[in-house]
Amino acid sequence: MKPFRNEAEFEIELFCCGMRLDPSAQVESLLSARTRAGLGSGLDIIIGRRRKRRHINVPVKEKFVGDSPYRLLKIGHDFVIADDRDPHVRFFAEIPSLPSWYQKKTSSGKLMSRVGVMQGTYLGIYVGDICKFWKVTPKTACKFCTTGVNVGINEDTEKKIDDVVETALEAKAESGITFVHLNSGEQEGGGLETAAPYVKAIKERVGALVGVQVTPTKDLWKYDWLIDLGVDHFSFCYEFHNPEYFAKYCPGKAEAFGQETFFRAMEYVSKKMGKGRNSGEIIAGLEPVEDTLAAIDYITGAGCFPTVCIFRPLVGAELEDNPSPRYDDMVAVMRRVYESCMRDSIPVGLAPNIEVSLIVNPDDALELVPFSFRKMRYETNRKMMKLLAYPLFVSKMRKRKVSADAYDPSKYKR
């Protein structure tokens, strides 16, 4: 068997082409349990034997996968990805088994896999009701999204604080998670208000880093409140930099708050929390590549790191018949992610044990950029900062009393 070539390129190729499942693989039972509101519906695999282990949620269900040259098969005890264009090319892969806590129930009787799921090495939890954009007539949901066909079906809509805490405690004990990511669609009472009680409970009763990804608000003081409750990271899904594509593919977001609200909120928390703490999330492969590159430059210029999802025409989404993005374009995009982080000295990959399987992590793109002294200096700085920041992360991952009120933000209002 041939060893891996450039792992970053292979990762991107898998996101773009997907992978067919050979009958010998027998991994179907791992698929449905990993379905997550509006996000990946594929198979989580781990590749990488050189610099790092890469967690990748590989598309396996979508129509375009039928044309993929890659096929997952099992040979003896090993999983192997064969390239059907060349019988000599084969890649080893690890398929993580489902954690046993998925089958446990919370004290209210909820199956924990319907409360939260692993997405790479962290725990992802959708909080709140089905996104409002799915419920209005006519529907204004984002065209690439499948949240409305998942929440309430593959995962429970109503999640009590105790359900989330108990699930996170099990995930921490068994899966060793360090990060809980709370995401939500548009909520009647406000996204930050929806997430607030969960943030406080996780900080006080679980002890983990907490990320929040909800729709943005013009009331910037509310971010002060969430930071006091313990949020370590905000992500802002503005999806498209080109305003026309934003309006076309995200009609609900365009009508309710527009791109500017994302930009102001992202700039605000970045200034308040510091460089590299927050992220701007975009989708690559639908708007022109130049716009995606401009988005990446804007995000790092604002002091955040870009999380770039390679567009996946998910089954059930309005865009399910769209083609998957071109590999060459996605390589250019991911190269720019690393270059822009380097140019703006964004300290990426510092937090312990956070590998996101739905995206190419910014530091995953290192191999796409040729050697230079600048790159060497950036990598040396990153390694040093990772070492120095470790005690800080350890202290942030301890349970602690939070004095801010999770239901009454009035004292922050200005």
Identity of the residue, 37 or 60, whose beta carbon is nearer to ligand SF4 in the bound complex: 37
128 binds ligand SF4, rule: CB under 6 A: no
CB 175 within 8 A of CB 120: no
Give the integer Cα–Cα distance in Å for 349 and 339.
15
Where would I find the H helices in 76-176?
132-135, 147-150, 161-170
147 binds ligand SF4, rule: CB under 6 A: yes
Identity of the residue, 264 or 375, whose beta carbon is nearer to ligand SF4 in the bound complex: 264
For the segment 157-216, give every residue that binds ligand SF4 (CB under 6 A): 185-186
Task: Count residues binding ligand SF4 (CB under 6 A).
Answer: 11
38 binds ligand SF4, rule: CB under 6 A: yes
Q: What CA–CA distances, in Å, run from 125 to 119, 297, 364? A: 10, 29, 24
* Minimal CB distance residue for ligand SF4: 185
Identity of the residue, 181 or 253, whose beta carbon is nearer to ligand SF4 in the bound complex: 253
- Among 8, 45, 131, 348, which residue interacts with ligand SF4 (rule: CB under 6 A)? 131
CB of 185 to ligand SF4, least distance (A): 3
CB of 131 to ligand SF4, least distance (A): 3
- Among 115, 142, 333, 397, which residue interacts with ligand SF4 (rule: CB under 6 A)? 142
CB 79 within 8 A of CB 25: yes
CB of 183 to ligand SF4, least distance (A): 8
325 binds ligand SF4, rule: CB under 6 A: no
Q: In this structure, how many other beta carbons lie within 10 angstroms of the beta carbon of residue 6?
A: 13
Identity of the residue, 185 or 285, whose beta carbon is nearer to ligand SF4 in the bound complex: 185
The tokens for 256 are: 């309710």
Tracing tokens 């309710």 back to the chain, one arrives at: 256
- Cis peptide upstream of residue 99 (ω within 30 degrees of 0): no
Closest among 310, 392, 289, 396 to 347, alpha carbons compared: 392
Degrees, nearest 5: CA angle 9-10-16: 90
For the segment 239-278, give every residue that binds ligand SF4 (CB under 6 A): 252-253
- Among 19, 56, 82, 145, which residue interacts with ligand SF4 (rule: CB under 6 A)? 145
133 binds ligand SF4, rule: CB under 6 A: yes
Stretch that binds ligand SF4, among 40-48, 138-146, 351-359, 380-388 (CB under 6 A): 138-146
Give the integer Cα–Cα distance in Å for 213 and 406.
17
124 binds ligand SF4, rule: CB under 6 A: no
The tokens for 287 are: 């708007």
Q: Per this entry, what is the length of the chain? A: 414
Identity of the residue, 41 or 340, whose beta carbon is nearer to ligand SF4 in the bound complex: 41
117 DSSP β-pair partners? 124
Exposed/middle/buried for 283, CB within 10 Å: 0-12, 13-18, 19+? Answer: buried
281 binds ligand SF4, rule: CB under 6 A: no
Closest among 263, 327, 351 to 299, alpha carbons compared: 263
CB of 252 to ligand SF4, least distance (A): 6
Task: List residues binding ligand SF4 (CB under 6 A).
Answer: 38, 131, 133, 141-142, 145, 147, 185-186, 252-253
